[in-house]
């Protein structure tokens, strides 16, 4: 009576489980967590694989490098018919959007198929973001090689890269991503990424199973083990209540067992290195119908160490046993042996061995990656800028350096884009590389101002923008930081860039008053000429001639006199647009500067005249008095009073008391008040006389 009740309950449960299980399987079979990429497949093409029903898409939207190649063989799976090959560049990377925080199975497959007619299967490396993933060594033209990891991305994308190590052209056939339940294949550290060494459907001799049998599309390989095979007996429930590992029913319905109950089931694998770490997963389900007087119970040891006792597989559901990471040996042997009272030998349905790969380097800080990618795109940088900027360390982007301490997220600390043919302005995005300590943009053609925003880089210790075409003023904060020693600043060789305190040329008065000055100069010249004419009209100079040459009450010197004054043009004290300026001494011992119009002068005689005329009528404390001139044939020269402290330029440069920045600004303000004559004369003099 009790037994009948139990059977009815059991039957009910079986039906219920059956419904549930079917429901789960149908749900999972929609490929919703799948990204299946057929590398090299022409853009926009997609198809559903004939054997698995997996929907493959082209890789075109995940990469912009490499070339698509087709394998001549036709008798191969559709997803292997194309490859993407990478004849150029050391490292070429895919970028595939994922959901961060979700566990993925990520598998890349390689089928050479002699696609390049070289008959030489290559060997190359795989990177995964900043970490080394694998070495792919293809030895057989018609052999499929896989690299697979189970990994939980921290970012919203992953970057699998193919790396040329000088042993042939890297290529890839397929990339597959499948989301897993986060509760499975758990490791003791986020940096311990597992890669299958073995995924064995031990009970199967010939068949390989994957999707749709496996909802996660794991590939289960048959086994060549010599153990006795058990297939599910007709009386046993073939339906399966899965655990999170979701083992395929077809895999769990076969098992191996030992010939005699007392013989153990032994399995082993070798480690290349004693420090290698492994995780072992064993999956059990009873496949036989046990009689009332039969029991199956066994203990599990790994390398003779006890792991689990009294394991009794159930016929209704699967049980998974996993180990803590195993390490410290070169050979691992796990052994299943029946317990004392068990009447039946142990069984095993499936097992997996995963090797730990340490992905010790975290991905570079997302903001830094976005910024540097933006800079790469802005400037079209054609360096090895592929994959993660900071890793692996040997593959750090050329010109970058990063802070890598093994614990915190790497940051970009150094950016060297010197001599890179950069044009345009310095992009504001650079200021988002907030941990930057060293920035070298020298020897490019950058224009525009030296932007304030660079001073948001609080850690910046070295800034070199020399040899560019920057214009305007160096912001005061740069100079302050440079003075205080916290910043090593180099701005040399930017002809139009001014340091506040020692502006060499045109200087900011130019942008400030340039347009006004042009008008002022015209007005002034007209005024000067008018005044000059009036004066000459009044003048009764005997040397007067009517060819528009210079006449005034200023002294006129002959060429011979000029030679004498300058001691045959012995001492050059400056050089300007018109020509060289020489030191000289007049008869009355007045020290003078003689400015000689060079015959090859670009500015020419007319301007020379204008300057002379201007100086004759304009006087200002900041202007050097004109004493005389020479206008004899080819020789044209102006004679100024020599300033004891050097010329105006030197005064301005060396001693800011003479004309402080404020005074310069006042000059500009004066303009606005209509002080045109003064300003224009100042300007003209400043620019063309003393500031070549
Ligand atoms: C597959 O291709 C069809 C057109 O041929 C298109 O409508 C569909 O969106 C594509 N599917 C994917 C997943 O790209
Ligand atoms: C990946 O995501 C980024 C941002 O979320 C988006 O701009 C980009 O188009 C996506 N790429 C693909 C191939 O879907
Ligand atoms: C290459 O692999 C195929 C299938 O795996 C096998 O049939 C063939 O013998 C192998 N060839 C060589 C040269 O190892
Ligand atoms: C099973 O295959 C492995 C290599 O894959 C080989 O080393 C081993 O000897 C084989 N075992 C049997 C029983 O054939
Ligand atoms: C199986 O492993 C056990 C425990 O390590 C060992 O004692 C036994 O000899 C092994 N048997 C075989 C057949 O390898
Ligand atoms: C279990 O019982 C059956 C008879 O019902 C008998 O033939 C068999 O030997 C028994 N097995 C054991 C291990 O006692
Ligand atoms: C099997 O494990 C149990 C504990 O789970 C233990 O009591 C027993 O001694 C073990 N048997 C063998 C043969 O190791
Ligand atoms: C095995 O069976 C004997 C007798 O039935 C019992 O005394 C003993 O406790 C059992 N051992 C275990 C480990 O269950
Ligand atoms: C990068 O920075 C580290 C430490 O900050 C330094 O040891 C290393 O030499 C730098 N590498 C380059 C290429 O500048
Ligand atoms: C400056 O860059 C040019 C190419 O842009 C290069 O030829 C030259 O050697 C560089 N000069 C220095 C000093 O690096």
The Cβ of residue 264 has, within 10 Å, a number of other Cβ atoms equal to: 17
Over range 103-108, report the average pLDDT.
Answer: 97
On whether residue 387 sits in a domain, the answer given is yes
Q: pTM to 2 decimals?
A: 0.71
pLDDT tens digit string along 260-290? 889 999 999 999 999 999 999 999 999 998 9
Q: What CATH code is carried by the domain that includes residue 166?
A: 2.60.120.430
Over range 13-39, report the average pLDDT.
Answer: 62
For ligand 7, the distance from its centroid to the CA atom of residue 310, given in whole angstroms, is 7
- Judge if the beta carbon of residue 560 lies within 6 A of ligand 7: no
Percent of the chain at pLDDT above 90?
53
Integer angstrom CA distances of residue 345 from 72, 303, 342, 496, 566: 51, 20, 7, 89, 118
Residue corresponding to tokens 């970490």: 131
Q: Report the nearest atom of ligand 1 relative to the CA of 45.
A: 2
Task: Please say whether the beta carbons of 327 and 277 come within 8 A.
Answer: yes
User: Which residues have CB under 8 Å from 4's CB, separation 6+?
Assistant: none
Integer angstrom CA distances of residue 331 from 188, 230, 293, 307, 334: 22, 27, 38, 17, 10
On whether residue 2 sits in a domain, the answer given is no
Are 344 and 399 found together in one domain? Answer: no
According to the model, what pLDDT value does residue 638 have?
78
Strands in 185-304 per DSSP E:
192-201, 221-222, 228-231, 254-257, 265-270, 278-284, 298-302
Three-state DSSP at 487 gives coil
User: Which residues have CB under 8 Å from 493's CB, separation 6+?
Assistant: 466, 467, 468
H-helix segments, 194-256: 249-252
pLDDT tens digit string along 305-318? 999 999 999 988 89
Sign of CA dihedral 601, 602, 606, 607: negative
On whether residue 639 sits in a domain, the answer given is yes
- pLDDT at residue 23 is higher than 60: no
Are 377 and 493 found together in one domain? Answer: yes
Over range 483-497, report the average pLDDT.
Answer: 91
The Cβ of residue 402 has, within 10 Å, a number of other Cβ atoms equal to: 23
pLDDT tens digit string along 559-583? 788 888 888 887 777 666 567 777 8
Are 336 and 265 found together in one domain? Answer: yes
Q: What is the mean pLDDT of the chain?
A: 81
CA 680/CA 666 separation, integer angstroms: 14
According to the model, what pLDDT value does residue 198 have?
96
Are 166 and 205 found together in one domain? Answer: no
Query: Which of the listed residues 309, 338, 358 is the one where a domain comes to its end?
Result: 358
Least confident of 172-181, 351-360, 493-502: 493-502
Instruction: Note the ligand closest to the C-alpha atom of 339.
Output: 7
**Cα 329 from chain centroid (whole Å):** 40
Instruction: Please choose from 34, 44, 46, 54 the residue to mutate so as to test ligand 1's pocket, defined by most ligand atoms within 8 A of CB.
Output: 46
CA 455/CA 436 separation, integer angstroms: 11
On whether residue 631 sits in a domain, the answer given is yes
Are 372 and 451 found together in one domain? Answer: yes
Token pair in block for residue 324: 């803590």
On whether residue 670 sits in a domain, the answer given is no
CA 596/CA 585 separation, integer angstroms: 15
On whether residue 14 sits in a domain, the answer given is no
Query: Which of the listed residues 499, 515, 549 is the one where a domain comes to its end?
Result: 499
According to the model, what pLDDT value does residue 512 have?
41
According to the model, what pLDDT value does residue 559 have?
79
Are 263 and 374 found together in one domain? Answer: no
Instruction: Note the ligand closest to the C-alpha atom of 265.
Output: 5
- pLDDT at residue 542 is higher than 70: no
Domain total of the chain: 4
Sign of CA dihedral 493, 497, 502, 504: positive
Q: What is the 3-state secondary structure (H, E, C) of 410-444?
A: CEEEEEECCCCCCEECCCHHHHHCCCCCEEECCCC
- Judge if the beta carbon of residue 604 lies within 6 A of ligand 7: no
CA 44/CA 53 separation, integer angstroms: 18
Q: Report the nearest atom of ligand 8 relative to the CA of 339.
A: 13
According to the model, what pLDDT value does residue 595 have?
79
Which structural domain range is residue 584 located in? 538-644
Over range 351-356, report the average pLDDT.
Answer: 97
Q: What CATH code is carried by the domain that includes residue 434?
A: 3.80.10.10
Least confident of 57-66, 251-260, 644-653: 644-653
According to the model, what pLDDT value does residue 233 have?
79
595 marked as part of a ligand binding site: yes
User: Which residues have CB under 8 Å from 151's CB, separation 6+?
Assistant: 103, 104, 106, 128, 158, 193, 359
According to the model, what pLDDT value does residue 297 have?
96
- pLDDT at residue 246 is higher than 50: yes
**Confidence at 84, pLDDT banded by 50, 70, 90:** very high
Are 347 and 408 found together in one domain? Answer: no
């Amino acid at each position: 009576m009790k037994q009948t009740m139990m059977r009815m309950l059991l039957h009910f449960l079986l039906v219920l489980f059956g419904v549930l299980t079917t429901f789960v399987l149908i749900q999972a079979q929609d490929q919703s967590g799948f990204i299946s990429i057929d590398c090299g497949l022409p853009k926009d093409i997609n198809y559903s694989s004939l054997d698995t029903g997996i929907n493959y898409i082209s890789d075109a939207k995940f990469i912009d490098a490499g070339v698509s190649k087709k394998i001549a063989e036709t008798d191969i799976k559709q997803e292997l018919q194309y490859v993407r090959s990478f004849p150029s560049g050391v490292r070429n990377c895919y970028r595939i959007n994922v959901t961060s925080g979700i566990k993925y199975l990520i598998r890349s497959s390689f089928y050479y198929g002699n696609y390049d007619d070289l008959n030489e299967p290559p060997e190359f490396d795989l990177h995964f973001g900043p970490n080394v993933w694998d070495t792919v060594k293809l030895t057989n033209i018609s052999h499929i090689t896989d690299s697979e990891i189970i990994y939980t991305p921290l970012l919203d994308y992953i970057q699998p890269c193919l790396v040329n190590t000088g042993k042939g052209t890297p290529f890839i056939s397929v990339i597959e991503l499948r989301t897993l339940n986060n509760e499975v294949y758990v490791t003791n550290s986020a940096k311990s990424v597992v890669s299958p060494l073995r995924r064995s459907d031990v009970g199967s001799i010939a068949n390989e199973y994957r999707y749709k049998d496996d909802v996660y599309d794991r590939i289960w390989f048959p086994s060549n083990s010599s153990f006795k095979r058990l297939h599910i007996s007709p009386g046993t429930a073939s339906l399966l209540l899965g655990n999170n590992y979701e083992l395929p029913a077809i895999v769990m319905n076969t098992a191996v067992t030992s010939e005699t109950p007392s013989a153990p089931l032994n399995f082993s694998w070798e480690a290349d290195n004693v420090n290698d770490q492994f995780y072992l997963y064993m999956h059990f389900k009873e496949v036989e119908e046990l009689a009332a007087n039969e029991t199956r119970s066994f203990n599990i040891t790994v390398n003779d160490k006890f792991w689990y006792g009294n394991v009794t597989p159930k016929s209704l559901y699967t049980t998974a046993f996993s180990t803590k990471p195993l390490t410290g040996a070169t050979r691992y042997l796990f052994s299943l042996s029946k317990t004392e009272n068990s009447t039946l030998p142990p069984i095993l349905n499936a097992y997996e061995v995963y090797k730990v790969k340490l992905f010790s380097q975290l991905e570079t800080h997302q903001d830094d990656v976005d910024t540097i990618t933006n800079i790469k795109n802005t400037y079209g940088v054609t360096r090895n800028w592929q994959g993660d900027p900071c890793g692996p360390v040997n593959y750090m982007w050329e010109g970058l350096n990063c802070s890598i301490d093994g614990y915190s997220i790497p940051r970009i600390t150094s950016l060297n884009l010197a001599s890179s043919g950069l044009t345009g302005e310095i992009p504001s995005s650079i200021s988002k590389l907030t941990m930057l300590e060293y920035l070298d943009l020298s020897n490019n053609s950058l224009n525009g101002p030296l932007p304030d925003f660079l001073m948001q880089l609080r850690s910046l210790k070295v800034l070199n923008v020399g040899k560019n075409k920057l214009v305007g003023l160096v912001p005061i904060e740069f100079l302050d930081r440079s003075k205080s020693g916290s910043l090593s600043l180099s701005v040399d060789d930017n002809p139009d860039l001014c340091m506040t305190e020692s502006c060499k040329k045109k200087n900011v008065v130019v942008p400030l008053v340039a347009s006004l000055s042009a008008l002022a100069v015209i007005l002034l010249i007209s005024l000067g000429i008018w005044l000059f004419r009036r004066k000459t009209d009044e003048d009764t100079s005997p040397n007067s001639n009517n060819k528009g040459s210079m006449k005034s009450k200023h002294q006129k010197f002959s060429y011979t006199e000029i030679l004498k004054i300058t001691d045959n043009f012995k001492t050059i004290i400056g050089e300007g647009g018109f020509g060289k300026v020489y030191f000289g001494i007049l008869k009355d011992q007045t020290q003078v500067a003689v400015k000689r119009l060079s015959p090859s002068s670009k500015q020419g005689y007319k301007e020379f005249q204008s300057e002379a005329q201007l100086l004759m009528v304009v006087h200002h404390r900041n202007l050097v008095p004109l004493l005389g001139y020479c206008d004899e044939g080819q020789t044209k020269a102006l004679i100024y009073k020599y300033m004891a402290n050097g010329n105006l330029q030197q005064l301005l440069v060396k001693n800011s008391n003479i004309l402080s920045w404020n005074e310069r600004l006042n000059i500009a303000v004066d303009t606005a008040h209509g002080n045109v004559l003064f300003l224009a004369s100042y300007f003209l003099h400043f620019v063309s006389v003393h500031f070549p």
